[in-house]
Structure 1
Amino acid sequence: MACFVAFQTATTAGAAERPVDFSRDVRPILSDRCFGCHGPDATTREADLRLDHKQDVFAKRETGAVVVAGDPEASELIARVTHADVDLRMPPAESNLSLNAAEIELLRRWIQEGATWEEHWAFQPIRRPQPPVSNDGSQWARNPIDQFVFARLQQEGLAPSPPADKETLIRRVTLDLTGLPPS
């Protein structure tokens, strides 16, 4: 029992120190609880508010900015999800999507930490990584992929296998393409 309590305390402390990640922690809350009324579908959108676009979340509105980076108490998002009046609290009680205390605290921490908003990975520009340079694998590594593989083999303390002969390569390709050994 003491081990469980120690593990639980260590896990909780580690989780509290980890910075809030928008894609991992915040986007799922907004997606599950808010996008139904404040998402991409214009026919169901309420209050002319989209919580799936960065510019809408940080834009100034009549009631104040939805999110004020670094200041959760000035953020309309926190005011709405913690409102004392049940009729003004978001999400509405009848939606059965109310946020729990941990989710509210996560949103509060995200805003306090600066409310960083990473775009979905599909909209990130492609960055070509530089292949690792190694003097030992220059003969083995014939292309950038080989350089990455060789660097990982070195990291694991392994050596590359010798090159396969033509018959073995043909057998491997045939198995990959047809699922059957060559005849």
Structure 2
Amino acid sequence: MKTRIHLLLVIVFFVSSLSAKEGEISYNRDIRPILSNHCFSCHGLDEEHRKAKLRLDVREEAIMSRDGIQAIAPESIEDSESWMRIISDDEDDVMPPPETHKSLTSEEKKLVKQWIEEGAPYEGHWAFSTPKKAEVPKVNGTKNPIDAFIQDRLKKEGLTVSPSAEKETLLRRVYLDLTGLPPTLEELDAFITDQSPNAWEKVIDDLMNRIAYGEHMARFWLDLARYADTHGLHLDNERSMWLYRDWVVKAFNQNLPFDEFTRWQLAGDLLP
């Protein structure tokens, strides 16, 4: 689980930082968030609050012709009523309506326009899509596949790799990343004087085998799960949720596989 989570964080950060260019529009990455923030509340799944009987979250309905009018006409901006509403200056026609206090930024409009011109392709939810292994770019001087992707992108953008950080800086970064604590002076001196080729690997192995590693990593998960040791009120007479907190810490420290980690939280009381 340790490797998967760190790799996932790096990939998510890297992918989310990419700006869409010609031919690189992704519905899930670029378009769905725009429609979700500005359109789905009135033109989405909720039938009770749906306006004009129009759904934009389902492609078949979004491109459907209604009396000769299409909300989204693939490859045709001029025939896409939703686009004409987005760029309209008429308060009675513009979408989203003025009373919502929402409007698309110029960059968001550019993305939507490009998406429609490219055929307005939709994508299923990422969780139900089979992962595709990307071909690692051939870049000289890289130590791992992630560096290859990053350096390949930097080259395309006309950028260069930043110089290597000093050993003191590297050590502080990895300590804070993995345990949330800075290194001691003794630990810093030991790393600086260690000239072995695997000095860095030894530091990482040591940190990931510390109890503090699980405690630090568990914080991020527990925050997402809305965990708290207290209600902050009179309901604190009996508190037993700390068992879950300690279990999450233990799961990280024991490197519990992510699928098992998830399964136990969803159905732990039903497992043998």
* TM-score category (smaller protein): 0.5 to 0.7
- Within the candidate set 48, 54, 64, 1:43 is matched to 48
Residue 105 (structure 1) shift: 1.5
Partner of 1:103: 108
Q: Residues 128 and 114 (structure 1 numbering): CA distance in 2 closer, same or farther, change over 3 Å? A: closer
The aligned amino acid for 1:100 is: T
**C-alpha distance in 2, partners of 1:98/1:69?**
22
- Aligned partner of 1:64 among 36, 45, 69: 69
Query: Does the CA-based 8 Å contact 1:35-1:52 persist in structure 2?
Result: yes
User: Of residues 48, 53, 65 in structure 1, which corresponds to 2:58?
Assistant: 53
Tell me how far 1:123 sits from its aligned partner. 3.8
Q: Residue 176 of structure 1 is aligned with which of 254, 259, 263?
A: 254
Deviating 4+ runs (over 4 angstroms): 126-129
1:84 and 2:113 correspond: no
Counterpart CA distance in 2 for 1:18 and 1:114 is 11
* 1:29 partner SS: helix
Structure 2: state its 5+ residue gaps. 1-18, 134-144, 149-252, 257-272
- Answer whether contact 1:91 1:97 (CA < 8 A) is retained: yes
Q: CA 1:63–1:83 in 2, change beyond 3 Å: closer, same or farther?
A: farther
Aligned residues: 123
Aligned ranges 1:141-160 → 2 under 5 Å: none
User: CA 1:127/1:66 → structure 2, altered by over 3 Å: closer, same or farther?
Assistant: same
Structure whose residues are more often helix by fraction: 2
Q: TM-score, normalised by structure 2?
A: 0.40
Q: In 2 relative to 1, CA 120–73 (structure 1 residues): closer, same or farther, beyond 3 Å?
A: same
Partners in 2 of 1:106 and 1:128 — Cα distance?
24
The Cα shift of 1:176 comes to 2.4
Unaligned 5+ residue runs, structure 1?
A: 1-13, 130-151, 156-174, 179-183
Corresponding position of 2:162 = none
Q: 1:44 to 1:66 in 2, by over 3 A?
A: same
Report the 3-state secondary structure (helix = DSSP H, G, I; strand = E; otherwise coil) of the residue aligned with 1:108.
helix
Change (3 A) 1:127 1:34: closer
1:72 match: secondary structure: coil
Q: Percent identity?
A: 38
1:120 maps to 2:198: no
Q: RMSD between aligned alpha carbons?
A: 2.9
> Which of 5, 25, 28 is residue 23 of structure 1 equivalent to?
28
